[in-house]
Amino acid sequence: MTAPTVTAPAHGAGVSLDGCSLTLPDVVRLARPPQGGPPTTAVLGAEARAAAEASVALRDRLIADRKPVYGVTTGFGDNVTSQISPERAAHLQRNLIRYHLNGTGPDSPPDVVRATLLIRANALARGNSGIRPEVIDSLLAHLAADLLPRVPERGSLGASGDLVPLCYVASVLLGDGDVHWGKRILPAAEAQAEAGLTPLTLQAKEGLALINGTSFTSAFAVLATHDASTLAGAAEIVTAFVSEALRGNASHFAAFLHEAKPHPGQLAVAERLRRLTEGSRLSTTYEEILAATDPLTGDHRQLERRIQDHYSVRCAPHVIGVLHDTLDWAGRWLTTEINASTDNPLFSVDDEQVHHGGNFYAGHVAQAMDSVKVATASVADLLDRQLALLVDPKFSAGLPANLVPPSLSGEAGLHHGFKGMQIAASAITAEALKTANPASVFSRSTEAHNQDKVSMGTIAARDARTINELTGQVAAIALLAGAQALDLRGVEHAAPAVRRVHRLLRAHVPFTDGDRRMDGDIAAVHDLILDGSLARAADHPTDKDTDVAAP
């Protein structure tokens, strides 16, 4: 029995998989389809289909010659010395899937499962894996129907591939296990029958081809990289808010300074901060501070204005820039990973040979994700430090303690403003920093010491997702505090871009004019960060930008 071939989409509406040209934005688009919009689909390209068929033909010739081929006519892992007859090869694949169905933890989110189906299909589309095109079609048919296998998050070492989680994908293709379909959880066979899909019967090597790869790890990693980029942009907006609210020194973002140390990310952040604060009548410059300061008479005096801001503001381009640059090279590594044959063995049709190796080792993904984790957690720490400046009257340039409105002065001691929010942000930041501990250094020898060096890439990528969530929450709290501070300072004097973001925030969360619960505020602003609303408000001028109060 075979799965239906996915019908090719209209021109421009989908992605044709060839195993070589899938992009990270493609993965994000298919993993997170717009609500109410037309879905993007993926199909197996014609050349990839032919390459897969040629690979299967070579596989069958090698089996017919009764040669030992790992995982095809031998056992798995440490059982590699056990050769079986060609007649038992297909049954071996079914057992491979069965004995790895031991995952634990929560179900993987729908976007991760969609990305996994897509990346696995693309890896197999290279035509090196000895797997029939109709098996790849089945992956894509489940993706197109949004019929998503239930895949536990835990169980992969990130080497020998994502064996445990990908077995849950393979099992569903066979009509076993459970799926998420819309808001329902159904037995796979029942959902397939309703969706018009036919369960597969695997041939030799096909179970191994499905599960012996880095697609689950890469799915987490691609989505985490995308979200970390969004958070980097949000951190720039928070920094602009804080610089304005503290009447900071905009000279710290001058082009000359950053061109003298021209890391691309640092340059980009400084340039964006110049745009975000352009037109401000709250922030100042070094020249303006000097103009307002009389020459020194005598040997010493205490200056009324700082000529340098604290590191968390002054060095923001350097901190956020590290994240940008880390994401740049991590993105290149991930692009290679999602366009690679990551199973073992691989079949070379040109030289009629089978090659045994270790492309299932997710070391590049592990290193990339551990680095992204550290850079993102550092941004969380930066924003937490900026928040601390806003709420502490020793550092806030005249703002009230904890941003409690002066109108509540008659109720002194009853209201606490952002005191609790700063405590929460500190706790969340500490969790992000703790989670940044690299996973890739925790290799564990396992499976009778056959898998004696493993990447831990899956854990690293899942950790990156967790740190993104935590950093987004810190950013949301810092934005809420920044908006409160600007209201107290006089938001009408802020830069146009800052005012646009402030208007967006106030459309969703009110000014804090007395003690109240604020967890809903954090969630609302977190959503504005992740769905791109914050960035759009910052970067797209409106007619209201000319509506500025007189100085």
Helix ranges (DSSP H) in 152-214: 163-173, 188-195, 206-211
Query: Does 345 sit behind a cis peptide bond, omega within 30 degrees of 0 on the bond before it?
Result: yes
User: Which residues face 187 on adjacent strands?
Assistant: 178
What SS3 state is found at 154? strand
**C-alpha radius of gyration, the chain, whole number:** 28
Closest CA to 499 of 214, 205, 281: 281
Residue 198: phi and psi, rounded to 5, are: -110, 130
Asked whether the beta carbons of 414 and 405 are under 8 A apart, the reply is no
Taking the CA atoms of 270, 372, 219 and 435 in sequence, report the sign of the dihedral they define.
negative
Closest CA to 421 of 506, 519, 488, 509: 519
3-state DSSP: the chain helix, strand, coil percent, rounded to 5? 55, 5, 35
Give, for 104, the enclosing helix (H) or strand (E): strand 104-107
- Rounded to whole angstroms, the Cα distance separating 426 from 260 reads 34
Provide the 10 A C-beta neighbour count for residue 195.
16
Asked whether the beta carbons of 344 and 70 are under 8 A apart, the reply is yes
- Rounded to whole angstroms, the Cα distance separating 121 from 14 reads 14
What is the DSSP pairing of strand 41-44 with strand 14-17?
A: parallel
- Rounded to whole angstroms, the Cα distance separating 284 from 248 reads 6
Which residues are marked as active site?
70
What does 219-253 look like in DSSP terms, one character per residue? HHHHHHHHHHHHHHHHHHHHHHHHHHHTT-BGGGG
Asked whether the beta carbons of 422 and 391 are under 8 A apart, the reply is yes
Asked whether the beta carbons of 210 and 120 are under 8 A apart, the reply is yes
Chain-centroid distance, C-alpha 74:
38
DSSP 263: -
Cβ contacts of 341 within 8 Å, gap of 6 or more: 19, 123, 124, 126, 128, 129, 359
Residue 426: phi and psi, rounded to 5, are: -65, -40
- Rounded to whole angstroms, the Cα distance separating 82 from 70 reads 10
Tokens of 482: 């920044």
CA-angle at 33, arms to 27 and 35, nearest 5° = 165
